Structure 1
Amino acid sequence: MAAPEIVHELPRRLRLRWPPLRDRRSDPLYVQALLENIPGVTQVRVNRAAATLVLQHDGAPATRAAILARFDPLPGEAFRCFEPPQPAINPLNLAFLGLSIVSLRLLPPTLQGTISLLIGLPTLLAGADGLLNRGVKVEVLDAGAVGISLLRRDYFTANMIVLLLNVGEYLRQSSEDQTTGLLRTLLRPQVEQVWLEREGIEVRTPLAQVRTGDLLLCGPGELVPLDGTICRGDALLNQSSITGEALPVHRQAGDSVPSGALVTEGRIVIRVEAVGSDTGLARINRFLEQALRQRSRTQQRSDELADRLVPVTLALGGGIFLLTGDLRRAAAALTVDYSCAIKLATPIAVKTAMYRAAQQGVLVKGAQAFDQLARVDTLVFDKTGTLTQGELFITDIVPLNHLDENGLLALTAAAEEHYAHPVAKAVLRAARDRGLTLPATSQVDFIVAHGVSAHVDGQQVLVGSHHFVAEDEGIDCGAAAEPAAAFAHQGKNLLYVSRAGRLEGLIALRDRIRPEAAGILTRLKQNGIRRIVVLTGDQESTARALLQALPQIDALYWELQPEDKAGIVQQLRDQGHYTAFIGDGVNDAPALVTADVGISLPCGADLAKDAAQALLLQEDLACLATALDAARRTGKTIQDCFYATIGFNSLFLLLALTGCIRPLTAALLHNLNTVGILGYCATRGLSASDPAARPTSPKDNPHDH
């Protein structure tokens, strides 16, 4: 394949000529996404007709080299475009067209006719192509209206029809481009550079260059970017985005590690088993195809209705000519068609509303997803990270010896001070909030997946699970049995603290419910959501605690596997519910795909974002209510436009058929009506949205209120 040719270059700008862009199979959107995901590249513009690309980047030599290397080889997805993109409409061309129409009367008649023919030629050719290949469709009526107007030398009418069609297409393209830009920004890879071990030396390498079998190093705070197996070391991994578990899990040599897990403690060497860069880029391409190429069900129905009305309009025009012999009446009738507003109103309303929703924190991937969102009556939530914050907080401190609460907390925080575990972060946060001074600590020893051993003021302090403190270290924890049982029943995580061989106390922790959750669930039910269901992999006691805090929940399931979640969503659909599933982990992907609409949170795993049809861009459930409001308001807008189109155009058509208005007047009324309807669609779309217990087995019936 031909390498790109550098046409022009500035320190931070590169213009390339690449002939394969002219290949009909090439996918410019995929190529653009591919290049924009190179670290250091900020913007890419593709001109398919000229076979050129213009790239803005950070000016680093490594970035320039990566750009040129990206073409060799180029993934096969770059040449799997089955639907050629529509040519972009330049606003300057629209302005020039409008100016030409206004100034046309100042020119000699012959020149007026020549210019009008050139302006209308693309529409005439599109109508001829449609008639020959697809039958009597909207394009035929557009061409017929333009053609008869040209034959009658009614150049203003002909040119206005062409202008309106182009303005509508420009508005649609503009809104799609805005949504696509947000999508590309959101889906940039979370990891761009990784550390590999090669011949005993650690080498920093771009993620795209990692191959199967490479040894990948991951330490505390780092995200595991690729699937693999641990060959050395052990670590605690936060897999909440994958399994939904709030607490990290211990993994050691021989264990498999999924991409998306976060190393909270320890250091591991992973043998890479699956390289995900190409897969990720393919997902980005599918995202772009969804956002730009899918038509909603409502839009499809609108287009079908517009096509069915074409023969009606043509028959009325032809019939009045046969009855009266008045070509003027026939031309007037043909000029007043229903198709312009019906065909353009729906995509403009949906796309502008999608853009506005994205500005307010919700990115909906395609018109079809936006259309489906308006029909949702049942919301299914994954618990961890959606209704809860996904972060542990201390709820109870129980001293059992001579310390008070602050003393026990300070002792625990001193032992945990250098620990990166989520439990340690919760303890230190609570100590800081109380303004406690921590005693001196030495000889700290982290026991992975068990706890901490440290010397505080010269005495050994143990902090960890019951298994670590009682069973491994032999500390008598009988005094904590009663409060521990109560806390476990409430779904809380327990931390045992001992000093010098004696149990000092017990600390309970729990993931907090999002502060906005209760209010948003109430608002959702007030706005038409009939049923709220929560699914979780947590134990029964933890799940039931959520049910007590959020009485708006209608059904609760616990101890679920990913396939169980998808099965429950399918059951709800089979019962006639139109469902939306809200989740953020890899484990949620099956349910996200099964639901009528899948919704992912911004911190969600890449696979969850891929599976979802809508993405919340902010860590706020209010965005969910905003999305549903916007979708339903858009449906109302489309309905208003449909009735206005049918009503006004029927009136104009009646006036034209009876000879009460001339063709020019009919065209003006029709065009003004169309512009008004499209303007209403755009204005409404861009306007701000109005604020306004599971049984013992996942297969059993849910706990219903």
Structure 2
Amino acid sequence: MTGDRINWRYAFIALSVLVLAAVILLHLTGAEVAGRWIATVYVAAYIAWTLVDMVREVLRGHVGLDVLAVVAMIATLAVGEYIASLIVVLMLSGGEALELFAARRAQRDLTALLDRSPRTAHVLVHPRSTDSDEVQDVAVDDVAIGDLLLVRPSEVVPVDGVLLSESGTFDESSLTGESLPVTHAAGAEVLSGSVNSTRAVHIRAVRRSADSQYQQIVALVREAQSSRAPVVRLADRFAVPFTAVSLVLAGVAWTVSGDPTRFAEVLVLATPCPLLIAAPVAFLGGLSRAAKAGVIMKGGAVIEQLARVRSAAFDKTGTLTQGRPQLVSVRPAAGFDETELLRLAASAEQYSSHVLAEGIRTAAQDRGLTLLPSDEAGEVATNGVTAVIDGKVVVVGKPAYVRSLAPDTVRADLPAGEAAAYVAVDGRFGGVLVLADAVRPESAGVISWLRAHGVRRITMLTGDVRPTAEAIARDIGIDDVHAEILPADKVHLAAALQPRPVMMVGDGVNDAPVLAAADVGIAMGAKGATAAGDAADVVIVVDSLSRVVDAVSIGRHTVTVALTAIWIGIGLSVGLMLVAMTGVIPAVVGALVQELVDLATILYALRALGGPTPTVAAPQSTASAAAPSAVA
């Protein structure tokens, strides 16, 4: 939707108003013939232009409601109601302008994301030093991983990066919905799309533009804007019966009265705008409202599916749980100090990419421990890490790996839902670090809300071990659990799930196939799960499972508003046509009344921009923590 198109519509409306005013003036001054000719030529030109568009649409396989307007204009000219014919022209052009205006209003939150998309980046000319601010401006797509960037005050961070400055404060509202600025320390990740505060900072790019958080959101928004909802196509299917009913009523009025004017008087009230305009405006409003809540929907088709969801499937790790294992306890072996064991293990885990490593490092830092550097470190994939820390050989990893280097290693007895990192120091078993992946505090409330609002079946699909999966499911209220399954198994199970439609919620690369296969796939994309986001129909860019409830609630409200607007328009039109059959509504008055019907339906459709805010109940008790032995 371009500004030129809107301006052109407004110019055409102004011309129609001038022509109508001139014809009325000629009529009042006795020059009715001149007025009739002007109106006939102008309306005929508009009819010809409309017919060309109608032919194009028919060739595309789309039968619309413009035929009603064309017949109404021809009928009013034929019976001499040329002022009414001009009002019909004004009504149609005004309706199109109202549609553009309402759609632009509904898209405001979506287009705000596109308008703020960064286009250039300031790359430091001397990348070895942050003391110089000599920069070269390059296109954001040309920024490479590892480039050192300067972000000036009030500028949008162009790509995802690591903060090099001592600290920085950023407005992340467009990404997370959090209105308050967030302060990060050196080493923290800064996401593209966040806005720097009042002090320039340096960051090192960790992702290219196309892979960065904000650009992914923008790509999703563009995809959402270009789609068309099934309910709008359903509205198109109303065209034939509504047209037939309108023509029959007009024909009956003509036959019974014997007056062809009655035919025109009925047809000018056969308003197509509720079907042509109200539904698209409502769906744009729903997309806009969802985007503002941190939920990017890939089009109106998704909204209708969400409104009808009857089954839901959830991944576990990173979806129902936080996906960030946290340290629960330190169990030192004889001769080892708890604090020193944690310091040595966390220092070694600086050189590990294992899912448990971050939790160990974070726990040590939270306790004020200073991590020590290593002169020599290496990681054995899937097994553990070995590092020389303060002259000691420290090994952290799986029990079998640690036992191979420290034969006195003793396996810990762990309850379901907990995982352990084993530690050896200089060939001796040092102890165990126990971690757990905490359940999201909102998970139980989300499950409860879905059950209370018509989602009849809820299941968990996870690759994690059964005891852990069942422990978490029990805590949050899920009684149907499929554990220790592969991604392909998830696809088959989701395909067989009844009743339909089925909503699948997950994150990570391994969830991409089932998200694509589900009727509605929802990706928890706040952590940059690119593959899952690409495969999903909905991407939640805020790290909260409660946004699933928002998505379903917005879908239901939007569809209700769209269908209600359609039926309000049809009901008013049919009622007014029945009245007009008696001859009490002149053609000019009918054309003006039809404008009010159009305006009412469009204003009602804009209610999709608002709506009730769903409430996710707080859990009755704190859900027990659980950690995967295999990341699902």
TM-score after normalising by structure 1 = 0.65
User: CA–CA distance in 1 between the matches of 2:546 and 2:221?
Assistant: 26
1:349 Cα deviation after fit: 1.0
Query: Taking structure 1 as reference, are residues 207 and 345 closer, same or farther at Cα in structure 2, changes over 3 Å only?
Result: closer
Query: Taking structure 1 as reference, are residues 554 and 167 closer, same or farther at Cα in structure 2, changes over 3 Å only?
Result: farther
**2:321 aligned to 381, 385, 388, which one?**
388
Q: Deviations over 1:545-597 (max 9, x none)?
A: 322432x223111222221111001110xx33320111233322321222111
**2:260 aligned to 315, 327, 351, which one?**
327
1:395 partner SS: strand
Q: Which runs of 5+ in 2 are unaligned?
A: 27-33, 124-137, 147-209, 211-215, 616-632
**1:378 aligned to 311, 314, 330, which one?**
311
Q: Counterpart in 1 of 2:628?
A: none
1:206 Cα deviation after fit: 11
Query: Taking structure 1 as reference, are residues 441 and 570 closer, same or farther at Cα in structure 2, changes over 3 Å only?
Result: closer
1:512 Cα deviation after fit: 2.7
1:455-494 matches, cutoff 5 A: 455-456=388-389, 458-471=391-404, 473-478=405-410, 481=411, 484=412, 486-487=413-414, 489-494=415-420
Q: Is 2:503–2:522's contact at 8 Å kept on the other side of the alignment?
A: yes
1:220-299 matches, cutoff 5 A: 291-292=224-225, 294-299=227-232
**2:65 aligned to 134, 138, 141, which one?**
138
1:154 partner SS: helix
**2:245 matches 1:312:** yes
The letter for the 2-side match of 1:676 is A
Query: Taking structure 1 as reference, are residues 153 and 643 closer, same or farther at Cα in structure 2, changes over 3 Å only?
Result: same
Q: Is 2:330–2:434's contact at 8 Å kept on the other side of the alignment?
A: yes
1:171-182 matches, cutoff 5 A: 171=101, 174=104, 181=111
**2:424 aligned to 487, 495, 498, which one?**
498
User: CA–CA distance in 2 between the matches of 1:149 and 1:421?
Assistant: 77
2:228 partner SS: coil
**2:224 matches 1:300:** no
1:659 partner SS: coil
CA root-mean-square deviation: 4.0
1:183 Cα deviation after fit: 8.3
Query: Taking structure 1 as reference, are residues 217 and 628 closer, same or farther at Cα in structure 2, changes over 3 Å only?
Result: closer
Q: Counterpart in 1 of 2:485?
A: 560
Q: Is 2:311–2:503's contact at 8 Å kept on the other side of the alignment?
A: yes
Q: Counterpart in 2 of 1:226?
A: none
Q: Counterpart in 2 of 1:546?
A: 472
**1:579 aligned to 490, 502, 520, which one?**
502
**2:536 matches 1:612:** yes
Q: Counterpart in 2 of 1:398?
A: 331
**2:378 aligned to 419, 428, 446, which one?**
446
The letter for the 2-side match of 1:493 is A
User: CA–CA distance in 2 between the matches of 1:685 and 1:466?
Assistant: 56
Query: Taking structure 1 as reference, are residues 400 and 131 closer, same or farther at Cα in structure 2, changes over 3 Å only?
Result: closer
Query: Taking structure 1 as reference, are residues 123 and 675 closer, same or farther at Cα in structure 2, changes over 3 Å only?
Result: farther
1:374 Cα deviation after fit: 0.5
1:446 partner SS: strand
Q: Counterpart in 2 of 1:158?
A: 88
Q: Counterpart in 2 of 1:517?
A: 443
Tell which has more relative contact order, 1 or 2 (C-alpha 8 A, sep 6+): 2
1:648 Cα deviation after fit: 1.9
1:521 partner SS: helix
1:177 Cα deviation after fit: 6.2
Q: Counterpart in 2 of 1:249?
A: none
Q: Is 2:384–2:401's contact at 8 Å kept on the other side of the alignment?
A: yes
Q: Counterpart in 1 of 2:75?
A: 148
Query: Taking structure 1 as reference, are residues 411 and 284 closer, same or farther at Cα in structure 2, changes over 3 Å only?
Result: closer
1:90 partner SS: helix
User: CA–CA distance in 2 between the matches of 1:217 and 1:313?
Assistant: 63
Equivalent pairs: percent with the same residue?
Answer: 30
The letter for the 2-side match of 1:368 is A
**1:362 aligned to 295, 316, 319, which one?**
295
Q: Which runs of 5+ in 1 are unaligned?
A: 1-85, 194-204, 210-215, 219-276, 278-282, 693-705
Q: Is 2:221–2:296's contact at 8 Å kept on the other side of the alignment?
A: no
Query: Taking structure 1 as reference, are residues 459 and 647 closer, same or farther at Cα in structure 2, changes over 3 Å only?
Result: closer
Query: Taking structure 1 as reference, are residues 651 and 470 closer, same or farther at Cα in structure 2, changes over 3 Å only?
Result: same
Greater percentage in strand: 1
Q: Is 1:127–1:142's contact at 8 Å kept on the other side of the alignment?
A: no
1:390 partner SS: coil
Query: Taking structure 1 as reference, are residues 175 and 306 closer, same or farther at Cα in structure 2, changes over 3 Å only?
Result: farther
Query: Taking structure 1 as reference, are residues 294 and 427 closer, same or farther at Cα in structure 2, changes over 3 Å only?
Result: closer
Deviates more, 1:152-161 or 1:620-629: 152-161
Q: Counterpart in 2 of 1:94?
A: 9
2:473 partner SS: helix
Q: Is 2:458–2:478's contact at 8 Å kept on the other side of the alignment?
A: yes
Q: Is 1:381–1:535's contact at 8 Å kept on the other side of the alignment?
A: yes
Q: Counterpart in 1 of 2:178?
A: none
1:415 Cα deviation after fit: 3.7
Q: Is 1:175–1:355's contact at 8 Å kept on the other side of the alignment?
A: no
The letter for the 2-side match of 1:638 is A
1:208 Cα deviation after fit: 9.5
Q: Counterpart in 2 of 1:37?
A: none
Q: Is 1:149–1:158's contact at 8 Å kept on the other side of the alignment?
A: no
